């Protein structure tokens, strides 16, 4: 419990089969349905890994990460230089916060965790950036408030966050 007697937000962790997904609602049917019906299936099939943050025994928010690539010619020119045709990336496939806790920093907590996991993975594997496909301008504004993302050459709703930028944002140094 916090100072106001509210349950504290638990750190994000990998989705487990027993997690209650059915009562999660963020206000976007597509994000809700994916979490309810497909998050566990995708995780079992190794298509994406979902991370959840719980508060008071309920899922307060989730995000999903998956391996991805971006074509060099779809990338921002400043990022694409000296890269292969298919640039290895991590994809932030989904991020959603339950209506009951929206506006309380849960989304920021989830995004920071996704950035940390991406940076950690980039130390072991070839990951040049985190890709974010924003569902709308509101989501884009959220991400841009928190990280210095580049706009892809394909769409203003597709963001590219180089791992160097992530390292700097998290207070580390980029190699």
Query: Can you tell me the distance from the alpha carbon of 78 to that of 90, in angstroms, rounded to the nearest whole number?
Result: 19
Q: Is the dihedral of CA 78, 90, 111, 139 positive or negative?
A: positive
Comparing CA positions, the residue from 10, 6, 8 lying closest to residue 113 is 10
Active-site residue 62, yes or no? Answer: no
Comparing CA positions, the residue from 57, 140, 129, 56 lying closest to residue 95 is 140
User: Strand order in 58-71's β-sheet?
Assistant: 13-14, 49-55, 58-71, 86-97, 129-133, 158-162, 150-151
Give catalytic residues, as residue numbers. Answer: 143
């Amino acid at each position: 419990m916090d100072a106001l007697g509210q349950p504290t937000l638990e750190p994000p962790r990998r989705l487990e089969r027993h997690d209650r997904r059915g009562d999660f609602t963020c206000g976007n049917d597509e994000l809700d349905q994916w979490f309810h019906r497909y998050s566990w299936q995708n995780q079992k099939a190794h298509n994406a890994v979902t991370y959840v943050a719980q508060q008071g025994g309920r899922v307060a928010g989730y995000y999903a990460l998956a391996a991805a690539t971006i074509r060099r010619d779809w990338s921002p020119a400043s990022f694409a230089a000296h890269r292969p045709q298919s640039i290895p990336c991590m994809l932030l496939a989904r991020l959603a916060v339950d209506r009951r806790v929206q506006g309380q920093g849960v989304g920021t907590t989830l995004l920071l965790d996704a950035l940390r996991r991406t940076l950690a993975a980039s130390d072991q594997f070839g990951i040049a950036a985190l890709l974010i496909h924003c569902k709308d301008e509101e989501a884009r504004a959220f991400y841009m408030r928190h990280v210095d993302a580049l706009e892809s050459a394909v769409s203003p709703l597709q963001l590219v966050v180089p791992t160097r930028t992530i390292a700097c944002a998290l207070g580390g140094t980029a190699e």
